[in-house]
Amino acid sequence: MEIQVHDIRKGFDGHAAALNGLSLTVASGELMALLGPSGSGKTTLLRVIAGLEVPDGGRILFDGADASHRSVQDRNVGFVFQHYALFRHMTVAQNVGFGLSARPRSRRPSRREIRRRAEELLALVQLQGLEHRYPAQLSGGQRQRVALARALAVEPTVLLLDEPFGALDAKVRKDLRRWLRDLHDRTGHTTVFVTHDQEEALELSDRVAIINAGRVEQVGSPPEVYLRPASAFVFGFMGASNGLPVEVRGGAAFLNGCPRPVADGIRVADGPHMVYARPHDVVLAPDDETGTGLRGIAEAVRVAPGLVRVDMAVPGLDKRLELDIPMSDAHWMSVRPGQPIHVRLTHCHVFGP
């Protein structure tokens, strides 16, 4: 099932618009992550797709057919929320079968069939044998898998997951992430997965949509959004970044007060811009006398596994530059707090207006 979201607008009384003319296409069978900061509209978008929220404008199409006016039931979506709201007084099997048991009599499978289906789904989410337990007798990760089995029980064509692992600890999250990717590959549901965790989005999804202030900033595969960010927002949101206000002249960027360019090969119009570089793309250049680069003073020097983090003060720049120097670069040992250092930007981004 392909999902097309067309120019959706949604506001809540007395608030800035939650969705601001948002458009997005999720391909059939795709696992797409919606990644964005808290309050950017991710949950609202999922609820609009599910039919739980009526948009002020715009359309939702399922396989090309307008589904904007279909009821939640007729959209046939499976939904999992951040806080696994299982029914506490029901067993695992009853929870999983709930969606089927709650159907009108004409479409309700027999009790035996519901039990069989619950067993099958519990095997799929690798919880065989726990049919008779109650939610309180399960771990957080197990509960979340029950919630997923429950969402799958109604044979949805679309699976919507709103930060489903958000409440779990880091190790369990990581395991469940791999497991979900695996499950997706076996079942092939079109899946939209909300997260505010960059690593989770990059590791899990076929494509990532980066959401900011109720709009899509960029859609792309994980390498695309990480390596070719479309905006300064995307660049900054995908990882630590250094921003330098520069003057671009003839394809080179000059930092105020530095006689030499800090970066070459810049393809934007002459004038003031910001260049952005990741901490690992600011490298030591101790012997480089003629090339591009920045001189400054090393301030904090901190050792982390496999690398050394340095904060560097640069004249003309009010924020410290962050460097991540791999320990394989033996020069790191000569970097001392209070001493001058010379660095080069090996890779940087400039975003047009």
Residues that bind ligand ADP (CB under 6 A): 12, 15, 18, 36, 38-44
DSSP state of 133: -
Alpha helices in the chain (DSSP H): 42-50, 72-75, 92-101, 111-124, 140-153, 170-187, 198-204, 222-227, 232-237
**Given the complex with Mg ion, which of 29 and 166 has the nearer CB atom?**
166
Nearest residue (CB) to ligand ADP, 72 versus 227: 72
For the bound state, the minimum distance from the C-beta of residue 5 to Mg ion, rounded and expressed in Å, comes to 16
In the list Mg ion, ligand ADP, none, the entry touching 212 (Cβ below 5 to 8 angstroms by class) is none
Binding mask 262-291 for Mg ion (x = CB under 5 A): ------------------------------
Nearer to Mg ion, 43 or 241 (CB): 43
In the complex, the smallest distance separating the C-beta of residue 47 from Mg ion, rounded to whole angstroms, is 9
Strand, helix or coil at 316? coil
**From ligand ADP, Mg ion, none, which one binds at residue 164 (CB under 5 to 8 Å depending on kind)?**
none
How many chain residues bind Mg ion (CB under 5 A)?
1
Cβ neighbours for 9, distance < 8 A, ≥ 6 positions apart: 17, 19, 20, 21, 22, 55, 56, 57, 58
Least Å from the CB of residue 98 to Mg ion:
24
For Mg ion, which residue has the nearest CB?
Answer: 43
Tokens of 274: 């910001």
**Which of these, 235, 245, 234, lies nearest to 274 by C-alpha position?**
245
In eight-state DSSP terms, residue 135 is G
Instruction: Report the length, in residues, of the chain.
Output: 353
Least distance in Å: CB of 211 to Mg ion?
Answer: 10
Strand partners, 161: 80, 193
Of 18-77, binders to Mg ion (CB under 5 A) are: 43
Q: By CB under 5 A, name the binding residues for Mg ion.
A: 43
